[in-house]
């Protein structure tokens, strides 16, 4: 699973340079802080990257240090060149299981097997291609409004922003950990009590396509997963996992790190001959809660376990 905010400074283009005046009250403050206040529709991370890429000038002088102190009264010129934008992929008429939609948000129940974002080996047939067909105007939003991902073979709920303002708000919510996500997972072995895994996650030091528990001193990022036992079977356990952070493959890595890899996980586990065969990691994003960017109200959605996981559990009962 990959639920990190997918921020990329080079994915949004301003049609013309913006000229902004630094308020006198902002004297002594950092450039990135002032930009975030003057351009609240953009996250500070995006603005910091624009500064580093030479897209911001102070009184006509291009700068590259987001922490530069301002005196008040300066003119800021913000320009993002067209070639810095992530060009939209081709729209494709791919059916979507839409759980909720309004003029701000789109909540999708993603099936297993659907790639979220085009990439190596998957340049078409993705959720992004489907979004560009379903909401043509979303091409004007970075990454077609996608703010977090689910692995190809993980099913369940995923929120998409229809506007730049909503996307920025959701990215900030993800960073502030106010987006609540619960997953259903079948973990190998018997787990008898609720607990959590608090262990940093980073790129595997040897197998670079994998993630692993890695000390923060070696590049790992803080990661916390809570799990609750729902049902115990002979050789596996149905758990509900709640994320406090959203690192790549977080649940898969954390459960494997305590000796309970997910059933069917081809990367972090291995086939157990005592269990029925399963073609993917048994992981489903079942519940999603957040603050609606437009109304400010807490909203939550829930979808049931998909058919393949239900069938697997029925076999465990047999």
Angle between helices 44-52 and 31-38 (to 10 degrees): 130
Pairing label, strands 155-161, 283-291:
parallel
Q: Locate the DSSP E strands across the chain.
A: 18-21, 56-58, 61-62, 75-78, 98-101, 105-110, 155-161, 180-188, 195-198, 201-203, 211-213, 224-232, 236-243, 283-291, 298-302
Q: Which residues of 127-137 are buried (b: 16+ CB within 10 A; e: fewer)?
A: bbbbbbebbee
Active-site choice (3, 4, 11, 151):
151
Whether 151 is catalytic = yes
> For residues 143 and 131, is the Cβ–Cβ distance under 8 A?
no
> For residues 312 and 272, is the Cβ–Cβ distance under 8 A?
no
Which residues, other chains included, contact 206 with Cβ-Cβ below 8 Å and sequence gap of 6+? none
> For residues 107 and 159, is the Cβ–Cβ distance under 8 A?
yes
Q: Which residues of 282-305 are buried (b: 16+ CB within 10 A; e: fewer)?
A: bbbbbbbebbebeeeeeeeeebeb
d(CA 166, CA 290): 12
Catalytic sites, residue numbers: 151
């Amino acid at each position: 699973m990959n639920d990190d905010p997918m921020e990329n400074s080079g994915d949004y283009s301003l049609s013309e340079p913006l000229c902004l005046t630094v308020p006198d009250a902002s004297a002594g403050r950092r450039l990135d802080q002032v930009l975030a206040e003057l351009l609240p529709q953009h996250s500070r991370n995006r603005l910091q990257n624009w500064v580093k890429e030479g897209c911001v000038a102070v009184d006509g002088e291009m700068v590259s240090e987001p922490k530069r102190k301002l005196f008040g009264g300066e003119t800021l010129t913000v320009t993002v060149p067209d070639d810095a934008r992530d060009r939209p992929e081709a729209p494709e008429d791919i059916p979507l299981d839409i759980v909720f939609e309004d003029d701000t948000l789109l909540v999708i129940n993603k099936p297993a097997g659907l790639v979220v974002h085009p990439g190596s080996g998957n340049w078409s047939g993705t959720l992004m291609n489907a979004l560009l067909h379903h909401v043509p105007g979303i091409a004007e939003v970075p990454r077609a409004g996608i703010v977090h991902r689910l692995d190809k073979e993980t099913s369940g709920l995923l929120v998409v922003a229809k506007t730049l303002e909503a996307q920025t708000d959701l990215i900030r919510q993800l960073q502030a950990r106010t987006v609540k996500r619960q997953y259903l997972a079948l973990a190998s072995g018997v787990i008898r009590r609720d607990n959590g895994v608090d262990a940093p996650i980073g790129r595997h030091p040897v197998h670079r396509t994998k993630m692993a528990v890695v000390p923060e001193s070696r590049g790992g990022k803080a990661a916390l997963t809570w799990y609750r036992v729902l049902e115990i079977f002979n050789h596996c356990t149905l758990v509900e996992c709640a994320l406090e952070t959203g690192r790549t493959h977080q649940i898969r890595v954390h459960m494997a790190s305590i000796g309970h890899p997910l059933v069917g996980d081809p990367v972090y586990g291995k086939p157990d001959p005592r269990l029925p065969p399963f073609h993917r990691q048994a992981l489903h994003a079942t519940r999603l809660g957040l603050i609606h960017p437009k109304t400010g109200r807490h909203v939550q959605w829930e979808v049931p376990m998909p058919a393949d996981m239900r069938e697997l559990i029925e076999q465990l009962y047999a």
